[in-house]
Amino acid sequence: MDSSDKFPVVIAGAGICGLALAAQLLDRGEHVVVVGCPENFGRGTAYGDAWREHLLNVPADRMGLRADAPAAFADWLALQGEERRRFRPRLEFGDYLAHELDGLRTQHGERLRCIEAGITAITRDTDARWHVTLDSGEVLESNRLVLALGAATTTTNATTNDSIIRQPWARGALSNIAVDAPVLILGTGLTMIDMALALQAQGHRGTITALSRRGRLPLLHPEPPLPPTPPPPALLAALEAGDLRVALREFRVAIGEGAAAATLADGLRSLIPQLWRGWSLPARKRFLRHLRPWWDSVRHRVPREVFATLDRLHEEGRLQIRAGHLIGHENGSAHVRWRGERDAAAVPADVVIDATGWDGDRDRYATHPALATLIADGHLRVDALGLGLDCNADGSVPDSDGLHLIGFLRRGECWESTAVPELRAQAAALAQRLTTY
């Protein structure tokens, strides 16, 4: 097919994934249409609705938009020396993305069209073309459609009637929490930390209890940064075989012999998609049930400045990290069963914030306006673990020619699909495929 016969590539989503892919496609001479909601267009939720206190979890010199220019963000900030390796505010990265988008518009002119609108439906016609209906009434047509929707959150139903905030990243989700209200946060990972920091930034003075099955916090990033440690042969062999019990034992042996858990995780990072694809479904389920909390704490770490804030809140008696699970919530009180105890306890909690993520929430996909029609028509399926949507190893959707996924929605296929280094690599590979489509 000649390039003149092609429709523009339509990218549904205007966050980091949509921008990285658009940049790659435009560099290859394609016409591109990027569609996204007006709120945080070009920045995405993670970098547009953050507070100043929210820091990146990747050093500045590894956060460039393009895979072949990883230090571009640090260059844009004109950072020097050790400052290039520090963790900058996420809002700054959002500013950088907006700057990059402006540059793409200036450089490529009419080959890039940006539409700030919501998507109400996506359908396919008999000629295998995708029709994207916008809330403005416009319908876009293309034979190459990419879903770059991030976690596919919406701004509706952020809070249920029982004061449980289900979508903590929805705009204004925390705004009605009283400054002295006791708060229970479900989850003790990165999202919990973000919520605790956001509450402090808006002047919250009440107590915060963070609850998860194991009560495990993310580890600190090593400072100064350390190079990755290649996995020992015995550890790699166990992971390739999907023997998670042996793999955990070998991981601990390596630590006992002097390796740092953080650098071991970094050494495995590039291998994770290949290892994940080789595991059986039962092995993946065992990992998610038993090892994921431990792995997340080692893999998804936080800067020292963030931990200092958590330590201060803990010392002031305003933050508790506990292991257990929520039984119920009513009348300003949460009923919790602590890990290892039989009887439930009451915890003061005017508000409960669900910071556990979206795993297993299949209804979220089936009711999302950009995905609902595709799922109802059989073009998309939620993956077996509810982590994202079914796709092939290259991000293409089975039996749906011309439909592709990038980013968060690919987690069920490759697991490691949320950090910028992985996302921009996906964008480069997908752009190459789409230009030869």
**Cα dihedral across residues 222, 227, 228, 232: positive or negative:** negative
> Which pLDDT does position 314 carry in this prediction?
95
Residue 167 one-letter amino acid: Q
Helices and strands, counts by H and E, the chain: 16, 15
CA distances from residue 138 to 76, 141, 165, 371, 382 in whole angstroms, order as listed: 36, 10, 33, 17, 28
> Which pLDDT does position 153 carry in this prediction?
63
Cis status, amide bond into 224, omega within 30 of 0 = yes
**Cα dihedral across residues 287, 289, 294, 299: positive or negative:** positive
The neighbour count for residue 298, using CB atoms within 10 Å, is 18
Q: What are phi and psi of 164, to 5 degrees?
A: -100, 120
Class of domain 3-153+359-434: alpha beta
pLDDT (tens digit per residue) in 349-394 = 999 999 987 676 777 888 899 999 999 999 999 999 999 999 999 9
Strands 112-116 and 351-354: unpaired
Strand partners, 185: 210, 353
Query: In which residue ranges of the chain is CATH 3.50.50.60 found?
Result: 3-153+359-434, 164-218+302-354
Strands 183-186 and 403-405: unpaired
The whole-angstrom separation of Cα 375 and Cα 368 is 10
The whole-angstrom separation of Cα 380 and Cα 376 is 8
Residue 366 one-letter amino acid: A
Q: What are phi and psi of 33, to 5 degrees?
A: -120, 125
> Which pLDDT does position 437 carry in this prediction?
66
> Which pLDDT does position 1 carry in this prediction?
39
- pLDDT tens digits for the chain (437 residues)? 344 457 899 999 999 999 999 999 999 999 999 999 998 899 988 898 888 889 999 999 999 999 999 999 999 999 999 999 999 999 999 999 999 999 999 999 999 999 999 999 999 998 889 999 999 999 999 999 999 998 866 544 444 445 889 888 887 889 999 999 999 999 999 999 999 999 999 999 999 999 999 999 999 999 888 899 999 999 999 999 999 999 999 999 999 999 999 999 999 999 999 999 999 999 999 999 999 999 999 999 999 999 999 999 999 999 999 999 999 998 889 999 999 898 889 999 999 999 987 676 777 888 899 999 999 999 999 999 999 999 999 999 999 999 999 999 999 999 999 999 999 999 999 999 999 86
Class of domain 164-218+302-354: alpha beta
pLDDT (tens digit per residue) in 204-256 = 999 999 999 999 999 999 988 889 999 999 999 999 999 999 999 999 999 99
Residues 6 or more apart whose Cβ sits within 8 Å of residue 49? 39, 40, 169, 171
- Residue closest to 162 by CA, chosen among 344, 349, 325: 349
The two structure tokens encoding residue 379 = 């073009």
- Residue closest to 402 by CA, chosen among 138, 132, 78, 142: 142
Largest CA distance in the chain: 69
> Which pLDDT does position 162 carry in this prediction?
53
208: enclosing H helix or E strand: strand 208-212
